[in-house]
Amino acid sequence: MPVTEGSVAIITGASRGIGLAIAQRLVRDGWRVCLTARNPEPLAAAVESVGGKELAIGVAGKADDPAHQDEAVSRTVVEFGRLDLLVNNAGINPVYGPLLGQDPAAVRKVFEVNVFAVLDWVRRACAAGLAETGGSIVNVASVGGLAPAPGLGAYAVSKAALIHLTRQLAAELAPKVRVNAVAPAVVRTQFARALYEGREDEVSSRYPLGRLGVPDDVAGAVAFLASADAAWVTGQTIVLDGGLTQTAHL
């Protein structure tokens, strides 16, 4: 579906970092946006930062809560009259270490948020009109979903599942809805801070382009996938890694 000015997006996990950068980029491109996040205060600040209530609304709640999903989708349609894009950015990574050493309940929670909630958001977006009028879905995966990731097994396996879910939904929702993903390496965000803090120069030296990612790197790719320039692109995962996966093990 060609994107026209005034198109409307929902971005989950958008009070900071990658999600907020995506919202800011889409608003600059003429979109109106619904931002979601768990905590109301930073979410309200994020809404103001992208242009306030004329351009954005915020709906606070947990990404895997069905009631929150219903509220976000219904408020978006009521406030803006349409829904053209769903960006599934919310994700968690609360466990570290070998998979067999993790609390099974914690591993299940990773999948609830990173995979099953994505499917629930897509189901609700399609029911709200996306499946009939057409549009786009972009899932934020990770390079961790492309190969084993030491210490990050639960997160990596969930992102591998998300990448395949992207392909499956692309096949099932065509031709009306395009479904794609982005797979970033380490991006300078609070979420990924433990992966580089105190040793950023060392970590950056592993990347052929010599630096870590920044949220705008991901936002630009998402904006492309949501645009008319990507009208013949579906089922794809764009790797955003500064060349890392071409030269090194993840």
The set of catalytic residues is 155
d(CA 1, CA 86): 13
* DSSP code, position 249: -
Q: What is the CA radius of gyration of the chain?
A: 17
Cα–Cα distance measured from residue 243 to residue 46, given in angstroms and rounded to the nearest whole number: 31
**H-only helix segments in 50-147:** 66-80, 104-111, 117-125, 131-133
Spatial distance between the Cα atoms of 97 and 20, rounded to a whole number of angstroms: 29
For residue 82 the two structure tokens come to 């349409």
Q: Whole-angstrom Cα distance, residue 30 to residue 25?
A: 9
CA 48 to chain centre: 21
Q: Both tokens of residue 171? A: 């096949």
| Cα dist from 117 to 61, 109, 128, 153, whole Å | 13, 10, 16, 19
Q: How far apart are CA 83 and CA 239, in angstroms?
A: 26
**The one-letter amino acid at 198:** G
Chain-centroid distance, C-alpha 56: 17
